Each structure stands twice: as structure tokens, then as C-alpha cells.
Amino acid sequence: MLVSLAENAGFCNGVRRAVKIAEESTEEKTEWYTLGPLVHNDDVINHFKQRGIAVLDNIEEIHLSNDEPERGIIIRSHGVSPELIERAREKGFKIKDATCPLVKRVHDIVRLLSDAEYDIVIFGDSEHPEVQGIAGWSGQNVKIVANLDEARLLGKTAKLGLVSQTTKDEKEFFAVAAALLDTARELRVFNTICSATRKRQEAAWVICQDVDLMLVVGDRKSSNTNTLFKECVKTGVKTFRIMNASEIEADWFRGISKTGITAGASTPDWIIKEVLDRMTDYEENKQEQQETMEQEIQEQSNLEEESTEQLSQEQDSPQVAETSANEESFAKMEAEMAGFASPSRGDIIKGIVIQVLDDDVMVDVGGKSEGIIPLRELSLKDVESAKELVAVGDEIEVKVLKWDDDGTILLSKKRVDSEKELDRLEQYAQEDKIIEGTIIESVKGGLLVDVGIIAFLPASHVDDGYVKNLDEYIGQTLEFKIIEFNRNKRRGSQIVLSRRELVAEEKARLKEHFWQEIEEGQTRTGKIKRIVDYGAFIDLGGYEGLLHVSEIDHRRIEHPSNVLNEGDELDVYILALDREKERVSLSRKKLLKSPWEIVVEKYQEGDIIEGTIVRIASFGAFVEIEPGVDGLVHISQMADFRVEKPEDVVSVGEKANLKILSIDPGQKRIGLSIKEARNDMESQEVEDYLENQEDNE
């Protein structure tokens, strides 16, 4: 037995959106209720009941107090009257409006009709919550007709407006409209039936032409499921209506070779999959058929989500025009509802933002449906939330990407912005103008630059010479020229940048200024650009000078990198200039105190210090007391006894306590004594001991 699944089966966007709002609410600390069943499906209701969202039939059932947890009401997808919403607010409930946007549009229409003093007729089931909600927005002069016979019983009136429950049969609606032509001097008809309902019916009819048996999956309270069931029965094919897989009976399929399945707009995917799983028991190739059906379900689910989950407009209904402007409003509304000037794929249109969530934006672009901008299509820049970029009431330009089955339009603001940026940048390229951009990332071969859109900066064009570390440029805002522009390029970057010429021009200007200002004897601050074995090249702001290794410090430096780091800034002395050869000799040593200056400031004769034996001679030992300054311990000052050879008493590298006997800065000589230091220290220890003895007596 072959099984076929109808297209468009299962959740519509309005129901999917309501379910999403409820799912998100389960993560909050607020205690949430739905005002009436969220959708007409007991399995969905039970699912949310288990997750803490109960159904509240009457808001008067709950009395809020300050010591109780915060509570909120989720308005179901069918919508409710404005009086109920206001009452919930008065009682202190938080409000989340999950009303289907298409139903909200019906609310706007009937309110406009009521303000213009039209009698209103609603084609629908008077017991259905959607119809009751519409009636609540319709004012006093409203009547509900369930069929053609009831429509024919209506009396005469001057002005009459007709709308429909969104899930009704379109042919029946047109028949009712025709019957009302003789009842009013002025009749305004708004076809408010959801296109998703019609498409489900058409898809079910197509399946019915090629199967022996039809299953319609959905809750018995669901109006669109009941309509689907009736449409399938009308085709003459054997049809069963089931709520879930448990209601399937094996006897139905005796002698059946082909079975079709469809589902109402409030039927969740998991129920459809359970039905498909059950059907595999009756198929000739169980595994293959199951995978095929589940793939169809997943593809339809992905298509629904990609096309967007229609979001609600703001909690407060849009302001209705004054009566004097009603004719213009009606003309516009009727044109939209009739589908005049409906945008096509690729069109760029203007719209008004009517709701902003973190991950998408709803836009009113006219017609019977709203458009959705997913977060990924909102901006050329990466953002965490759509609320960072747009607000309700903003007018924006968008591009139409695709139409969903139920009339929702998938839009992109990013692509409009991209085209505008490309127009601007193309003009800059043609006129060879300088642009500004921020480097955001390093990639293979260069850097990515944000110039309104993302452009590429090759490594060879980052500077006028080789750049060792590209990452140091990330985050910098610099100037560039466009060297390649190709709007239609599909691989690689459409825009290629360069700053090589700009850097060279700037360096030439700074160089000229440098040679005009530089003089020997000046002290300048520079940046270490390169370190070599014999010194370091210092950028002085327009020109580089050489700091030779011998001019880095007073002491001997093995290698410049032991003291200096590329990128560091330091003060240097202009030691010499050769203007003909354009050479600058620098000194750091000139700006540092000499080791002997440090010694004279730091030490005095008689001080006991510590030093390191660095060299031994026949007449004594040389001791380093500061880098670059050695003192002499004569052999006679090494010990209290006669010393034959200094190495008998001290060794190179040994630390020693020393007494400064003499300091001669002019001759750069320091006389030291190990013997005197030891005697002074021992005498001090004796004095300290005696003092302690006296203190203890």
C-alpha cells in the first residue's frame, strides 16, 4: 500500500507562532495561562499543561495579590475581544498576544467598518472563538451567519460590511456575498479567508483524485480540520477523520492500495509523524515509506519556519482613522485585500515595522499579509537582537525574497542596504575617492574591512612594505582606495582595497616635514620598527634613524633584542645628521645616567655593600657593584692574615660583603675591603648582642 502526504499539512504560520510564544513563556518565572485553548488541539493543550501553562476560561477565576507570583495571560491564536484584553490588564495580568496576524487584520477591518457606521456581517460559526473575538471588535451592529440560508434572512440596511472567519470555505463565502447584494445600498466585502486554508483544501483535493482512502488528522473542535474533512468527502473518496494515530483501525485498509493523509492547521508535526509511523504497518516497504513520509513532513516544517513564523503586531491595535478619512482608508484596505499591487519576488518596497522581536521583525507592506525579516536578513552587521536596529513605527525599505503558502512574505533589509552601499562605493571607485573603513578580521592573504559592506585588503596592500603581523591592524579605522569593484562577482570579494599608495604619500609628506624640523642635539620620541644585530631602526614620525648597539646603554649589550622590543616607544637623542645621504644617528645612552653617576648618588665611603667577584689579578680582585662599575679589593684587604694568592680566598662569581674605602669619580676608581667589612659586621653583631643583654636584665 502506498501512502501520500498532502502538501501544506499541519501547523500554519499563525499556529506555529502561537506555539513558539507559549514555548518561550515556559522558560520564564511568570506563571502563564492561555485565555481559552491556545489552538484547537487537545494534544497541544496537554503538552503545555505539562509544562505549566494552564487554560483559563474566565479571568475572573483568579484573583491576583501582591504576595503571589507574577501571572500572565497568553491571548490565543483565535484572538479575543478588546474588552477581555483590557479587563486582564486591569486585574494586573501580563499580556502576550499570540493572535494570528491574519485574524488581527480582520479586527482592524471590522473596527474601521464600525467607526464608519456600517452594519457588520461575519460569515462563520457563532460558537467559534475566532468569530466571537471578531464580533467583540465590531461594535453593536453585528450579525453572524453560518450559511447561505441565514444570509438570505437578513433585513435591509443602508451600509453593510462583510468579513469571514479565516478558516471558512471560500466558495461558500462568495455565495453569501452574492446573497447580500440586494440587502444594502452600499456593500463592502473583504475576503479575509486565510490563503493557507484554501491551499490545504486544494492540496487535499489533488490527493483525493489519486487515492482509495483519505485520512484527515486534527482535533474535532478545529474548524479548518472539519472543512478539510468535508472537502475530502465531497470528492467521493472514502474518508476518515482522526485526532491521532490511536484512532486508526486496520479494517479500514482492506483492499486499499493507495492512502492519502492531510492535517488541519492546528495539528502538530509529531501527531502527523505518529500517524505515518502507524501507517508503515500496512505498507509493503515499511522502512522506505516511513523515511519518505518523515522527510516530507520535515521539509514542510522547514519551509514554514524559513518563510517565518508570523509574529503579532503590537499589543495595542493600530489607531483607526477618523470618520472623515474613512473613504480613503477603505479604498486602500479594499485594494490591499483584493491583492492589487501585490509585490513580486525581487521587488523593493517600503513598509512600516509593526513588531520587533529578538530574532525577526514584522513589517506591514500592505495587502492581506505581513512580511517577516529574519535577523540574518536585517543588517549587514552582525547583531544579537533586532531590537538594536529598528523600532515599531519605523519606515524601512525591503526586498521581497519569497512568498509563503499562507501569504506571508519573506523580506530582506540587508539586501537593500547592500545595493545602496554598492551604489555609493561604485561612485567612490569611479571617482578614485578615499573611503574609510574598519579592519575586522585577518584571513588568508590579507584582511577583511568593513566599509559599509565587507571588502578585501590584500596583505601586499596593507602598507608600503612587508607587514609581519596582520593581526595588529584588527580594530583600526583607516583610509583606503578601491582598486577593484565588481558588483556581479559571485566568488571572492566584490570590492578590493589598497592603502599602499596612501601610506607612501603620507610617509613622503612626513619625511619632508621631518627634514625641515630635525636638528642635532634634539630629543625625540620614536617607535622601534626593526631590530637587527647591530642596532635598531627607530621611526621618528616620517623617517627612520639608526640606534647603534653601542649607543643603547652605557654597559655592553650582547644583542639589541636583550634590551629592546619591536613596537615599543622610547626617547632618543639626535646624535648626528647626514642630510646628503639622509641618515640619522641616534643615541639612547646619552639620555641615561652613566653608571658612575649612579654610584656617586647611591654610595658613600664607609658603606657596607654586596658585590660579585668578576675578575682576579695577582694584586687583588675586581668586584662589580653596579652594571658597568667595578671596584678593587687589594690583596691586603682580603683577610686578617697574609694572603699569598687572591684565588686562595675568593673565586669568580662569588658574592662578597664589602666596605667602601674610597670613591674617586674623576679617576673612576673605588677601593673596597672584604676584611674591613667582615670586622665591622662582627663588631656590629657584638654591639647588638650586648644591647639585647642589657634589655633582658
CA dist 416 and 399 (Å) reads: 6
CA dist 175 and 325 (Å) reads: 31
**In terms of Cα–Cα distance, which of 263, 260, 222 is closest to 244?**
263
Whether the CB-CB separation of 223 and 167 falls below 8 Å is answered with yes
Asked about 685 being catalytic, the answer comes back as no
Rg of the chain over all Cα atoms, to the nearest angstrom? 44
The string of DSSP letters for 317-381 reads: PPPPPPGGGHHHHHHHHHHHHHTTT---TT-EEEEEEEEE-SSEEEEE-SSSS-EEEEGGGT-SS
Compute the C-alpha angle 571/575/580, nearest 5°: 120
CA dist 666 and 242 (Å) reads: 112
Residue whose grid cell is 578580521 = 441
Tell me, letter by letter, the H, E, C secondary structure of 557-602.
CCCHHHCCCCCCEEEEEEEEEECCCCEEEEECHHHCCCHHHHHHHH
CA dist 654 and 648 (Å) reads: 13
Catalytic residue among 7, 61, 127, 130: 130
The string of DSSP letters for 487-512 reads: TT--SS-SEEEE-HHHHHHHHHHHHH
Tell me, letter by letter, the H, E, C secondary structure of 200-221.
HHHHHHHHHCCCCEEEEECCCC
Cell of 299: 521539509
Torsion sign, CA atoms 256, 262, 266, 268? positive
**In terms of Cα–Cα distance, which of 553, 548, 546, 552 is closest to 578?**
546
CA dist 368 and 192 (Å) reads: 8
CA dist 406 and 402 (Å) reads: 12
Whether the CB-CB separation of 76 and 38 falls below 8 Å is answered with yes
Cell of 386: 533586532
Cell of 679: 670586622
Whether the CB-CB separation of 626 and 672 falls below 8 Å is answered with no
List residues with catalytic annotation: 130
